[in-house]
Structure 1
Amino acid sequence: MSLLELTAQLSEKFPGRDYQIDQLLTMLGEPDEPTPPAIFVYGPSATGKTSVIRTLFENYDPIGTNYAYINSVECFTSRLLFERALNAWTGHIPSVENKFSNYARCDNLVDFVNVIRGVLDGRKETHYLVIDQAERLRDRGSMLLTSLMRMQELTGGCNVTVVLITNVVWDKFRPRHGGAADPQCVFFSFYTKQQMLDILVKDCPVGEPESFFLTFVEAIYEVFHRNCADLNELRHLVAMLYPKFVQPVFENQATRSEFSRLFKLCQPYFAAASERLYLREISTSEWQKYSTVASAKNNPEDVTLKIYQMAENSDGLDLPYYTKFLLIAAYLASYNPSRLDVQYFARGKDPSKSRKKRAVTNSENCLGGRDRQQLLGPKAFAIERMLAIFYSIIAEPVDSSVDVQIQIASLITLRLLTKTSAGDRLDGIKCKCNVSLETIRSISRTVRLEIDRFLYDFA
């Protein structure tokens, strides 16, 4: 296959990536032509970097012995990286016959370079080392990255090119001591709306009208794109919601031309998906299982309620033990006034007694028109305050091996906590709790904590 044919084929398969594909194929050229020592492919997540690179090399080298695809998560040591690359270049497959041994043992970079010289001696074709999630290489010492960038020089002129795929810009990779020239960079930008629609419409089920499916995809994009810019998440939502959207057509409750009626019938599922499916409070299999009973002949709100109850009646979010207490502390910090922290969380205090004393006062305030605490929504709190509540409500001393900072960062990554202030460091930032009271009560039951004893004005 010529480079022009390959360019046309890849451009058709990956809409919106014509420029990047043309850049990459221009750098690669013909198999026996000289290539840059290193190519740096970067950009935000879910922009097609890995898919484009892997498909490109699968077609560029159908035999598969001129490139080695390495994922840094799997090859978490340099030795695994070196030996996996040599296996790919030589076509060696560990099996029972060879006792699952690798082509050669490479304990260090010197061994790797020496074996490369022997393997590639006399070969004119370029051999590519493709490393995905390359940002993990920065944790293995700057010399490894520098040596990979200079592999052509270290191997005595062997035509070896290293391709790094990452979400991080090159400035955060560049070794402080220098030692290697900057690579050729290829940037994968965010998809535009039209590019996303062109990609999503390729998932149209067999037998479904593409124009009708495109109308649905546009509606999904308009509903979710402000909170979800990730293409993979949108594709997942489309796959889960389209069967519910088109079901009334097969049940003769509406026609394909009645789009507004179909949208109205599916609207409860949009709400349930945004709160349960997107946040992964229920899994894909659970969503499919509990939504199969849905029908336009039934009340969609009843089915939605069942989906909500399914998530709430579970054993809570699948979180580590201490992380559950951190999330509970975050909820208390979001909904309890800070002026009452000493009264609720000081050691030796019984919050239930304080609640009884304020029962009449709270009821009078509510009758007087005062907004109740849970109706005002979550308030921002400092991480230091959340930690103080955490250490107060947990029964036993926290194990010294537990890294609380990492668990807080995980809650932010899972969108269970939302940052409300700028800054990368956890100390000093402010957050809000992003879960419901029912979820917190469910989590509290799993750790045997009476959450109602610590909640202010929730009676």
Structure 2
Amino acid sequence: MEAIGERLATGKTSVIQDMFKEYEGVAGTSRCYAYINSVECFTSRLLFERTLNAWSGHVPCAENRFSNYARCDNLVDFVNNVRDLLGSKHGATYYLVVDQAERLRDRGPMLLTTLLRLSELTGVDISVVLISNVVWDKFRPRHGGAADPVSVYFPYYSKEQILQVLAKDCPLEEPAGFFLTFVDAVYEVFHRNCVDLNELRHLVAMLYPKFVQPVFEKQATRNEFGRLFKLCQPYFTAASERLYLREISTSEWQKHSTVASVKNNPEDVATCIYHMAENNDGMELPHYTKYLVIAAYLASYNPSRLDVQYFARGKDPSQKRKRKGGALVAAVDEDAGARDRQQLLGPKSFAIERMLAIFYSIIAEPVDSAVDVQTQIASLITLRLLTKTSAGERLDGIKCKCNVSLEVVRGIAKSVRFDVDRYLYNFK
């Protein structure tokens, strides 16, 4: 079976988990299903070992030195271990639930096919449930070999349903009608750019204290909704550009927005919010992800014809190229007024392959083979730090633009001790 939702947060995972918990209570005390999230299990080995742990009831802990039920490095080991573990339990049905299953298409050509034929290969009654935001046709194995699953579609919530879910987060001490009016305003502001219900809930939780703050400061009453919305407008703007894009963490937002007050000049409030990320040491991103953001910015603002000059190994990017006669031809020393600077023209589209070439050129140490660079790129697209400018679901072959400001990139580069200014063309 495959559960498909057209967008994020349509209740697929919650419904399926609750259904299996009810089924498990009726079927008996043994664990009959294994729930695997492909984001957490970012390698095949993690997926295999966590599945065996769930079916066997094994829990890694200090007593067993946090070991797993069995070590599985490949598909053959996994099939053999499943046969040994469950082969003697006749009459029982076991389930493997894989969330965000579309990520399995990047784990090798045979993984998804083997999982779908696991019952046939092991002789055990095993059903596989795939939870995905992508239709089956987009990640079906190209070589075939597996039957198509039965698809169950979860439609996206309507506005009324979204408001009903968001209204459940109303604080106990707040009027439900007033909170619902605020939730409706948040939906109207953010729903075109934010389609994830979980993100909307996060924005509501962060913005509501600032929206209701003027009431406690005697600046407005609950009946003056228009005035309250106007006073909170700088926070709405900052949330869309800082909080939703994760340029700052939730704790940083709460820290800085608590200091700001509607008693201040609205411009001062906006300035306070917009400067939140200045001392954030380049955002709370993993080490390699920071270099990916830097590479994306360089790919967006540097002409591709100068990649060899800036990023070829062993070359100094600040060194000027010369003709045979000694005349300078480097463009970096041209008069700034003679042409538009790159930062004024905005980010340009670039191919993912070009960004990866820059990434592997600027990073000092070899990239660990366990690091899934493709997953990190997908996360940057999800966080809107990268914006797709071409169609296609697979990362290879698509084009993107960098959606990060120069100040943020400089902060990221500073956190990893990388001099980004040396590699930027015409940014003096």
Considering the TM-score relative to the shorter chain, is it more than 0.5?
A: yes
**Distance in 1 of aligned mates of 2:260 and 2:182:** 19
Confirm whether residue 441 of structure 1 aligns to residue 404 of structure 2.
no
Q: Tell me the TM-score normalised to structure 1 length.
A: 0.70
Does residue 186 of structure 2 align to residue 220 of structure 1?
Answer: yes
Matching residue within 277, 290, 294 for 1:311 = 277
Q: What is the alpha-carbon distance in structure 2 between the residues aligned to residue 357 and residue 55 of structure 1?
A: 64
Separation in structure 1 between the aligned mates of residue 78 and residue 308 of structure 2, nearest angstrom:
57
Aligned partner of residue 33 in structure 2, secondary structure? strand
Once the two structures are superposed, the pairs formed by residues 320-331 of structure 1 within 5 Å of their partners are 324-331=290-297
In the aligned structure 2, how far is the partner of 1:98 from the partner of 1:339?
Answer: 57
1:193 and 1:248 map into 2 onto residues whose CA distance is 28
Q: What corresponds to 1:40 in structure 2?
A: 2
2:324 aligns with none
Q: In 1, Cα distance between the equivalents of 2:386 and 2:195?
A: 19
User: How many angstroms does 1:256 deviate by?
Assistant: 1.1
Would you say the 8 A contact 1:85–1:129 is kept in 2? no
What is the 5 A alignment of 1:259-298?
Answer: 259-298=225-264
Q: 1:40, 1:186 within 8 Å by CA — same for their partners in 2?
A: yes
> How far apart are residue 436 of structure 1 and its match?
1.0
The answer as to whether partners of 2:385 and 2:403 remain within 8 angstroms in 1 is yes
1:410-449 equivalence runs, <5 A: 411-423=380-392, 429-446=398-415, 447-449=417-419
Consecutive unaligned residues in structure 1, runs of 5 or more? 1-38
Aligned to 2:48: 78
Q: Counterpart in 2 of 1:56?
A: 19
* Paired residues for 1:364-443 under 5 Å: 373-382=342-351, 394=362, 399=366, 406=374, 411-423=380-392, 429-443=398-412
Q: Is the 8 A contact 1:412 1:418 kept in 2?
A: yes
Distance 1:339 1:108 in 2: 48
| 1:141 counterpart = 2:106 | no
In structure 2, do the counterparts of structure 1 residues 41 and 150 end up closer, same or farther at CA, with 3 Å as the change threshold? Answer: farther
- CA distance in structure 1 between the partners assigned to 2:340 and 2:252 by the alignment: 37
Higher Rg: 1
Residues 201-280 of structure 1: matches in 2 within 5 Å? 201-280=167-246
1:10-49 aligned at under 5 Å gives the runs 39-43=1-5, 44-49=7-12
Q: 1:42 to 1:332 in 2, by over 3 A?
A: closer
C-alpha change, 1:301 and 1:65, in structure 2 (3 Å) is farther
RMSD: 4.3
Q: 1:303 & 1:136 partners in 2: Cα distance? A: 42
2-structure distance, mates of 1:391, 1:150: 42
Structure 2 residue 135 is matched with structure 1 residue 185: no
Say how many residue pairs are matched: 399
AA matched with 2:402: C
* C-alpha separation in 1, matches of 2:281 and 2:61: 42
Aligned-partner SS, 1:292? helix
Distance 2:199 2:406 in 1: 26
Change in 2 beyond 3 A, CA 1:390/1:174: closer
Listed one character per residue, the Cα deviations across residues 23-49 of structure 1 (whole Å, up to 9, x for unaligned) are xxxxxxxxxxxxxxxx33222431111
State the TM-score, normalized to the length of structure 2.
0.74
1:419 alignment partner AA: K
Segment of structure 1 superposing worse, 228-237 or 424-433: 424-433
List per-residue Cα deviations over 1:116-165 (Å, max 9, x = no partner): 464465x8xx76554434456664635642444559x934xx7x655433
The answer as to whether partners of 1:41 and 1:164 remain within 8 angstroms in 2 is: yes
Q: Letter of the aligned partner of 1:48 in structure 2?
A: G
Report the CA distance shift for 1:104/1:419 in structure 2 as closer, same or farther (over 3 A). Answer: closer
Change (3 A) 1:128 1:326: closer
Q: Structure 2 CA distance, aligned partners of 1:388 and 1:110?
A: 40
Letter in 2 for 1:279: L
After superposing the two structures, state which structure 1 stretch, 133-142 or 247-256, moved more. Answer: 133-142
Distance 1:300 1:83, change over 3 A: same
Structure 1 pair 310/60, CA: closer, same or farther in 2 (3 Å)? same
Residues 351 and 453, structure 1, Cα contact 8 Å, conserved in 2: no
| Cα distance between partner residues in 1 of 2:60 and 2:305 | 65
Q: Give 3-state SS (helix, strand or coil) of 1:298's partner.
A: coil
